[in-house]
Structure 1
Amino acid sequence: MTTLPPNIEAWFAHRGWTPREHQLAMVQAAVDQTSALLIAPTGAGKTLAGFLPTLVELAERPRQGLHTLYISPLKALAVDIHRNLERPIAELRLPIRAETRTGDTPDVKKQRQRKSPPQILMTTPESLALLLAYPDAEDMFRPLRTIVIDELHALAGIKRGDLLSLGLARLASLAPAARRVGLSATVAQPNLLRGYLSKTGADATDVRLIRGRAGARPEISVLETRERMPWSGHMAVHAMPEVYERIKETNTTIVFVNTRAQAELCFQALWRVNEDNLPIGLHHGSLAIEQRRKIEGAMSRGELRAVVATSSLDLGIDWGSVDLVVQVGAPKGASRLMQRIGRANHRLDEPSRALLVPGNRFEHLECRAAIDAIDAGELDGDPVISGGLDVLAQHVLGTACAGPFDPDALYREVLGAAPYFGLARKDFDDVVDFVATGGYALGAYERFKRLKKREDGHWELADKSFARAYRLNVGTIVESTMLKVRINRGPVVGEVEEYFGSTLVQGDTFVFGGQLLRFVGIKDMVMDVVRGGQGEPKVPAYAGGRMPLTTLLADRVRGILHDPSKWPALPEAVREWLELQRWRSTTPSPDALLVETFPRGDREYMVAYCFEGRQAHQTLGMLISRRMERMGLGPLGFVATDYSLATWSLRSPTTAQLVELFDEDMLGDDLESWMDESSYLRRTFRNVAVIAGLIERQLPGQRKNTRQVTFSSDLIYEVLRKHEPDHVLLRATRHDAARGLTDIERVALLLKRARHKIEHRALDRVSPLAVPVLLEIGREAVHGEARDAMLEEAEADLVQEATALVAEPRAPKKSTRR
């Protein structure tokens, strides 16, 4: 049985703790020199379990040099973990130096860390990529013995995870003795993460799986407001008075929302009812780092009663005093909800408390589905996506920045990265050729010739300037150009997207950082504002802010809709809504696709209840509109929600035409044709080109704006399409467009379901279930709370039409295709 050194045993006893089984198992894994994946609930001491083997080893055998590398998906989490780790190091009086290295670390400290590394270094995937690109990387990392990756589930399956996996593969060459440790609380498919940690890139058997004991089952409830349950809208501002009442009843509350715009609106709504002047904070990724650190510090000290936050606080930051987590809006995924609930309580023997606040009737069903999934112990599946060639191109350039490399050795090394395990040698060679020359079509331009080949066959940098450019542009997060927000020509309080700034005229007001601000002007990428103003304020929106609905929750929502025995547990308003739907039409079933058609005004509407998420529905809407045009139906437009897709046209499709509209073959020629004609591939190419280093967003002393980057990428895109259509970056673009950004796989699942059974209901008017998606039409141009106000006005007519208790002039046609 594993035992701890006497001084560490005594430290546990002094704190009133007993080492948990999974913590001792992690120490044993270190003794056995094996990598490990620890899955344990929040409050189980996961982070301590990850670092405990390091503390044991350095307590027994002190040494200099880098011993443990901790990698976090968030800079704030790395800082928080550093703060928490300092306490046991100090109390045990261990000769250990632990430091953080992120984009916020001063340059002087960064230089010192490379020359004299601490024993424990806490960093991010991007900072690791930078460290590996220095010529002295081998000297720094050779002594490394442990790599700890926190919140591993948040990185695997995305491009940041691709970059990290390539960094791990590089470390396997520089520090072959280093083992890997993954920490996570929410994992649906452990073997996928074990494969990610494996040095082979695929074989999960060399990574030990360690599970912590499950904690108390969380107490989760859904708020049933005194206010009328909205049919549409997702801000849930109507519920803020009752959320405030819950805040008053608890010591500390985190109010999670799904978007930054929603955070601003909910924060304002809470302050309007804050008659007791309770200290309530706001935290999201666009606020200035000083503002976020101020809020984090106040929470740590117990000075706030509540904080309204986005996913910026989803991961890891340990505030043991949080009594209640409030999720405003639908959770979108069971794993995401469990992650957020884990921010409360942090005690295994006591249940975490959570309150879900749906913004509309469909969201109430989604909240119920999430609770059912958690009760059943189900989590959302992890994505299986092959590594991006654009990320690989960035890694190849970074490797060359560290020194000449042998392409054969580098290819073998890259195969050890899980997302690149099956990488074809041709794809690798094409990537290297692109980094070296830009490819055939761009080979005449000197600016794209970043590598040169030596006589021994090794590749090296063509010029040192490419190393400087790499360090300015490293990373896989391609954000829109941001404008800094400066109040009264004083401190910068955060940033908004350049596009939002371009919509403002002098005197316009908007809400940001919990303040009402009046727009003055823009100069040198800085937006000058003053406090106050009049008129309906706008709320900045950010690209990609909406979270996608997971397949797990979508299936469960369909199950609730189809099973009336589950309806008695729903609020009266939702229950009546579904009863009216069943009377007017029918409810969607799990194994079929319900499609309703009905006239309204001079238009014919079609609503398909797909439940595959907004992105998948938007792709489907574009493809179906093309088919409707060919059929002569005269499509006029479409709108998508997470739950359904609505189109309107001059003529209504017949049942036979519906079968053709939803045929699986649309994912062949139709998809290719749409991609070629739309601007979608251009936008996707821009991101790929930035990540691959073809287009540099950051230049020494300046930063390109969105228009400059778009202009450059569009020109290159057209050149490649015309002269080298199989260019590696065009292949990467199609990969992203088809597999990631457009959710093609979920569209394919939907069409497969439709192939077996389309249930067509031809109605004489809108159905109750169709009201929410029709209310979405045209609302994108409306800002702030005016959105929900406009919905209330539009809702009355639609609801009256959908629920009118009059005899139907004709029986709805029921057509089924099996």
Structure 2
Amino acid sequence: MDLDGFHPAVASWFRGQFPAATEVQHRAWRAIGAGSHTLISAPTGSGKTLAAFLGVIDTLVKRGLEGGLADETRILYVSPLKALSNDINKNLQAPLAGIRDKLLESGLPDVRIRALVRTGDTTQSERAKMRRQSPHILVTTPESLYILLTSESGRRMLATVETVIVDEIHALAGNKRGAHLAVSLERLAALCERPPTRVGVSATTRPMEAMVEFLVGIDRSPCQVIDQGHVRHWDLRLELPSSPLEAIMSNEVWVEIYDRLAALAADHRTTIVFVNTRRLAERVARHLADRCGEDQVTSHHGSLSREHRLKAEERLKAGKLKVLVATASLELGIDIGEVDLVCQLGSPRGIARLLQRVGRSGHGVNRVPKGRLVPLSRDELVECAALLDAVARGELDAVALCRKPLDVLSQQIVAEVSMREWEVDALFDLIIRSAPFRELSRNVYLDVLKMLANGFTTQRGRRGAYLHHDRVNGRLRPRRAARLTAVTNGGTIPDQFDYDVTLVPGELFVGTLNEDFAFESMPGDIFQLGNTSYRILKVHSGKVFVEDARGLPPTIPFWFGEAPGRSDELSAAVSRLRREVDEALADEVPADEVPADEAPGSQAPGSQEGGSQTPGSDSTAIARVAKRLVGDHSLPPVAAEQLCEYLASARAALGGLPTAERIVIERFFDEAGDTHIVVHSPYGSRLNRAWGLALRKRFCRRFNFELQAAALEDTIVISLGVVHSFPLEEVVRYLAQATVADVLTQAVLDAPIFPGRWRWNASVALAVRRFRNGKRAPAHFQRTDAEDLLATVFPDQLACAENLAGEREIPDHPLVAQTLQDCLRGVMDIDGLAELLGRIEAGEVEVACRELTSPSPLAQEVLSAKPYAFLDDAPAEERRTLAIQSRRHLTVEQAADLGRLDPEAIQRVRSEAWPDFRDEDELHDALVVLGFMAPPEPGETADVMLERLVADGRASRFRMSGDGWVWISAERLAELEMAVEDGRTDPRIEALECDVETPEAALRELIRSRMEGLGPVTAAELGRPLGLNDRDVASALMALEAEGFAMRGRFSEPAAQSPPVGQSQSPADIESPSRSTSTTRSASPAEPAEEWCDRRLLARIHRYTLKRLRSEIEPVSIAVYQRFLFRWQGLGRERRQGGEALAAVIGELQGLALQAAAWEREILPARLTDYSPVEMDELAVSGRITWYRPMTRQQWIQAAENGPQRGRGTVANSPI
């Protein structure tokens, strides 16, 4: 159907408003007119709303002209947001009124089509009016549709629906709200005499097959897909502050961002700034209001009142608001008028999310959306660059349907059965017709029915029993409280226990505050909400009573929520960009010009060498790669340069950039001597959370120690203690594809995420009621009820850990299964982790390991992660990562040094560790501490002292079979005799009693003692003095490693090796005992042999290496700094002159508060030649400068209370 098939009045109105119908409108009108289910996917601004609505409106017009319209609802429109529902209703009024005008102009009878909104914001009077006279078009949300289906009046209204339009379908299909809506649509179809035609609308939808399945359900007539794609011309660019980005944004850089946003807003009529959190929305709104004007900026998010949000939308649409700072509350297709620019502050974490937000600008046919992406860290810079590349390639996030949420199923079963009696089989058939529940097994369905019929027996009595299950006749009937509970506790949006903010006098609701923020606040505190300052009067019964603070400086409140994880498609784009830069940097130095020992991959995992000559590490190569990125990805030159410098330094430190095909694991010491492991895994936070939590569990089981861990989109950090030592390569072998699900399940049970998800699911399943007796249940009541319920269903979860034997046994209960499902496959990605581990086991993913002296550049962000990234319950102030110190910026050459220990530091530690003895008592102590000494080690000066010890029976020579012998003390002789067979002392001395009982333990303690004085040493060096075989030494070393005492790696430079013990050495060669214990490596100089080192000594080596690196940046002297200040302030011999020079001096000193006379007599004459006050007056009158009289805080408060006073805090451009 095209316009010619419409009624003339409808066609005339459309032609008067638009030049022509779009292709998507023509195709949609034909499909809907034919009565077919239809899915419309087209770019933003292509006329999708009229494509879905106009055809059915035309049908209503024709029907009204033929015989009049009955008071029956024919069209049901469902949107995911209340704001979008209100917006659609407003936009419907214009075509409905216009069509009525055309009918009147044509002399035809009036056809009045009523469209009303039914959401949670609808007043009781409006609802009563709706019940008396049903609208022809009903606009609602999934939650309100559910309530209507669970009430007699609502079902009467919905029984006549012929067409259902689901807008922004992609925003619902992948979550529980979508599963909830899918069942509601099936309930609606069963209610109506003829199942309604379903129309889905979305601008960004993939894959189409899943969206069709979600829209129409199973076993229905075919669905016509109108797929115009999402690709269109976009004006997208990166915006960076003047200062380089870092892992943490400093206040100075934030000021630059605010200034840039204000400048962008000044160049456009209306601007929307999207942020990812409500706290940031309030913060940005306040700073932009200081720059753009209080009445020109406001915020828009879900914790603000409906009235504030609607007023903000109307002001923006009318052009009365210049900047609107919003969260996802404005992300979907709300018509907010002519928006010229959209700025996204921080990465949106998804391709579709960016397109939706930027699509708020240029919202119209043949218009170009304009967006600016502002990264807030170096990792976000890489992510945003990859995001723009993905948009340019036409890529889009795939939406995965939420499958079989049993808490949603429970709620919908109670709601539907509460309205009428059902057969068990018939209700099952209805449910599995919805796409999310198509795979629901009958056994699980019966388990849910059993739960709803039997309820839960707790210490507070029986609860949660809402159905009578007649198992004899296979029928379901409601209990008395079923309908009321289903209506008052319906929906899937979790309760965050926010406090209502009420303005007095008048009891005006202005928004909500987080429970913790409200609980910690005191009367008199001032906070900001909706860009307005409020003073707290009292906090009582879930409400915060406030008064207007009249603009006094506020604090910014905080809210807790779940940040969206990065989509898999965007993670793949990040990996692709990293791979491209990695290969480009490698190509800058041809392979034949790179020495073999410096080529990528030539080092064994854990090697300390390499990196200083990383291919492409020089600044010229970085500049060339940056130039390629500018050309290939249309990045701004400054962004490309920062990106390349960041990734090049990371590549130099890690030996290669982490990608989807290469995982890099690094380990380093902190200032306290503890170690930290960072896994560079660019698969997104959902997979990394799963991997980090499972690794944490495995570490806990192995070392019996609870570890701290955190996970971000590209990294995982695990903070270890002093008892953890193991080969770094073993980390990836701690988990296996076959068993990772079981390990992660047990880890989730111990994680803070499980209790919260349990409460949410229990609330959705109606097992814990959020409302009682018409009032909201207090937060502590809900938490207590959820805990009591968990104790009944899953007692091991709350049991004392001392009473648990082995792993917790998971009960076969629907709510427990659903909670684990939400944790493992909602918050985390267990399936993706299992697949990754399988690829690692198959060798498809490379794993590289690096031992570093300091964190690599790519590790900086996770080390300073916010609490939402933590995988344990330790607070931010107790994180072990606080002991890590690292430089904010690293050049490529500096980053390459992170993988190499300072040879001088190694020698220094060896010298410090070796005992320094001055008499025979100290030499005896050295023999006891070191276990034994090889003949050259005491040195020639110790011969007399040794003979005295032998004469006293305190020491002797211990001869092995053959010619070898060592010095041994009586205290350690028993251990040596157990460890070495066929040995004897010469002369014979009596062995003292020791604590060890087995030869293995004796050898372990002897090697432990030797390592305490040697520093980095190979296994061969440790075993050679006693003639031990490598197997026995390796076994002892691995036992020490398991204790956390020893660490292995390649620490020393090949050139620093000393001659082996036994070769002739001059006295000069025996300056340091540690040199004499070295031995020739079995490996080539290009690949040093594996060494072992006492953990404490290795930490000291790392500390000395860092100290040497830091000493390379020495502060200048006071005299040099003073001379610089004189030059900087223009107080040198050469001074400036003229009006322009005066303007430059004032620009350097602006913001400095001094007496007016001081400016005229001292400050300016000292910096300018022949300064004249007339020049200052000219600059002031011309408007180039202004002067300002500052006030104290007390003066600000008095001014706010008393109103502005003349001469106080005024800003002027008149002469001083």
TM (norm. structure 1) is: 0.91
Distance of aligned partners of 1:485 and 1:507 in 2 relative to their CA distance in 1, 3 Å threshold = same
1:683 aligns with 2:699: no
Aligned counterpart for 2:779 among listed residues 676, 681, 706: 706
Matched AA of 1:591: E
1:181 aligns with 2:185: no
Deviations 1:323-348 (A, max 9, x none): 11110001200010011111111133
1:728 aligns with 2:728: no
Distance of aligned partners of 1:320 and 1:109 in 2 relative to their CA distance in 1, 3 Å threshold = closer
The worse-fitting range, judged by mean Cα deviation, of 126-135 and 511-520 is 511-520
Distance of aligned partners of 1:230 and 1:516 in 2 relative to their CA distance in 1, 3 Å threshold = farther
Aligned counterpart for 2:77 among listed residues 70, 93, 97: 70
Cα drift, residue 550 of structure 1 = 0.9
Kept in 1: contact 2:36–2:224 (CA 8 A): yes
Mapped partners of 1:400, 1:234: distance in 2 = 57
Mapped partners of 1:277, 1:479: distance in 2 = 33
Corresponding residue number in structure 2 for 1:774:
863
Cα drift, residue 713 of structure 1 = 0.8
Deviations 1:481-503 (A, max 9, x none): 11112345553321112122223
SS at match of 2:418: helix
Distance of aligned partners of 1:751 and 1:471 in 2 relative to their CA distance in 1, 3 Å threshold = same
Matched AA of 2:888: V
Cα drift, residue 422 of structure 1 = 1.5
SS at match of 2:422: coil
Aligned counterpart for 1:37 among listed residues 36, 39, 44: 39
Mapped partners of 1:801, 1:582: distance in 2 = 12
Aligned counterpart for 2:301 among listed residues 279, 284, 287: 284
Mapped partners of 2:460, 2:268: distance in 1 = 67
Deviations 1:652-676 (A, max 9, x none): 5413422323433552332232233
Corresponding residue number in structure 1 for 2:212:
194
Distance of aligned partners of 1:346 and 1:530 in 2 relative to their CA distance in 1, 3 Å threshold = same
Structure 2 unaligned blocks of 5 or more: 101-110, 585-624, 630-638, 797-809, 871-875, 904-1048, 1051-1086, 1089-1216
Kept in 1: contact 2:504–2:547 (CA 8 A): yes
Deviations 1:671-722 (A, max 9, x none): 2322334443332221111001111011124222222111111111111124
Matched AA of 1:639: A
The worse-fitting range, judged by mean Cα deviation, of 108-117 and 240-249 is 108-117
Correspondence 1:150-165 to 2 at 5 A: 150-165=167-182
Corresponding residue number in structure 2 for 1:50:
52
Cα drift, residue 136 of structure 1 = 4.8
1:142 aligns with 2:149: no
Cα drift, residue 636 of structure 1 = 4.2
Distance of aligned partners of 1:773 and 1:556 in 2 relative to their CA distance in 1, 3 Å threshold = same
Distance of aligned partners of 1:534 and 1:443 in 2 relative to their CA distance in 1, 3 Å threshold = closer
Deviations 1:748-793 (A, max 9, x none): 3443454332111122222111122222378999xxxxx9xx9xx9
TM (norm. structure 2) is: 0.62
Distance of aligned partners of 1:170 and 1:657 in 2 relative to their CA distance in 1, 3 Å threshold = same
Distance of aligned partners of 1:536 and 1:779 in 2 relative to their CA distance in 1, 3 Å threshold = farther
SS at match of 2:565: coil
Distance of aligned partners of 1:320 and 1:272 in 2 relative to their CA distance in 1, 3 Å threshold = closer
Cα drift, residue 86 of structure 1 = 0.8
Matched AA of 1:705: P
Deviations 1:172-225 (A, max 9, x none): 212234110000000120111101122426x7x711101247674111000022
Aligned counterpart for 1:400 among listed residues 399, 414, 417: 417
Mapped partners of 2:566, 2:133: distance in 1 = 46
The worse-fitting range, judged by mean Cα deviation, of 662-671 and 15-24 is 662-671
Mapped partners of 1:611, 1:131: distance in 2 = 45
Distance of aligned partners of 1:263 and 1:773 in 2 relative to their CA distance in 1, 3 Å threshold = same
Aligned counterpart for 2:665 among listed residues 595, 615, 625: 595
Cα drift, residue 418 of structure 1 = 0.6
Deviations 1:706-754 (A, max 9, x none): 2211111111111112499222222222222222133323433443454
Kept in 2: contact 1:548–1:615 (CA 8 A): yes
Aligned counterpart for 1:305 among listed residues 322, 331, 336: 322
Distance of aligned partners of 1:802 and 1:473 in 2 relative to their CA distance in 1, 3 Å threshold = farther
Mapped partners of 1:713, 1:350: distance in 2 = 51
Mapped partners of 1:529, 1:55: distance in 2 = 47
SS at match of 1:527: strand
Mapped partners of 1:474, 1:31: distance in 2 = 35
Matched AA of 1:231: A
Corresponding residue number in structure 2 for 1:809:
901
Distance of aligned partners of 1:277 and 1:624 in 2 relative to their CA distance in 1, 3 Å threshold = same
Structure 1 unaligned blocks of 5 or more: 782-786
Correspondence 1:481-560 to 2 at 5 A: 481-487=497-503, 491-530=508-547, 538-560=555-577
Cα drift, residue 299 of structure 1 = 1.5
Mapped partners of 2:249, 2:717: distance in 1 = 16
Correspondence 1:231-630 to 2 at 5 A: 231-233=247-249, 237-238=254-255, 239-274=257-292, 279-438=296-455, 445-453=461-469, 457-463=474-480, 465-487=481-503, 491-530=508-547, 538-564=555-581, 565=584, 567-568=626-627, 569=629, 570-585=639-654, 586-601=656-671, 602-630=673-701
Kept in 1: contact 2:729–2:849 (CA 8 A): no
Provide the alpha-carbon RMSD of the alignment.
3.0
The worse-fitting range, judged by mean Cα deviation, of 678-687 and 401-410 is 678-687
Corresponding residue number in structure 2 for 1:751:
837
Deviations 1:517-564 (A, max 9, x none): 444431121113455599996533333242211111111112222222
Corresponding residue number in structure 1 for 2:1076:
none
Aligned counterpart for 1:219 among listed residues 232, 235, 238: 235
Kept in 2: contact 1:452–1:462 (CA 8 A): yes
Sequence identity of aligned pairs in percent? 29
Corresponding residue number in structure 2 for 1:764:
853
Aligned counterpart for 1:667 among listed residues 728, 733, 740: 740
Mapped partners of 1:539, 1:752: distance in 2 = 46
Cα drift, residue 506 of structure 1 = 4.6
Kept in 2: contact 1:331–1:337 (CA 8 A): yes
Mapped partners of 1:739, 1:780: distance in 2 = 17
SS at match of 1:385: coil
Matched AA of 1:595: I
Distance of aligned partners of 1:795 and 1:248 in 2 relative to their CA distance in 1, 3 Å threshold = farther
SS at match of 1:368: helix
Matched AA of 1:423: L
SS at match of 2:769: coil
Corresponding residue number in structure 2 for 1:80:
87
Mapped partners of 1:8, 1:300: distance in 2 = 26
Cα drift, residue 20 of structure 1 = 2.1
Distance of aligned partners of 1:273 and 1:139 in 2 relative to their CA distance in 1, 3 Å threshold = closer
Correspondence 1:791-802 to 2 at 5 A: 797-799=886-888
Mapped partners of 1:108, 1:513: distance in 2 = 28
Matched AA of 1:285: G
Matched AA of 1:25: R
SS at match of 2:887: helix
Kept in 1: contact 2:489–2:771 (CA 8 A): yes
Distance of aligned partners of 1:579 and 1:635 in 2 relative to their CA distance in 1, 3 Å threshold = farther
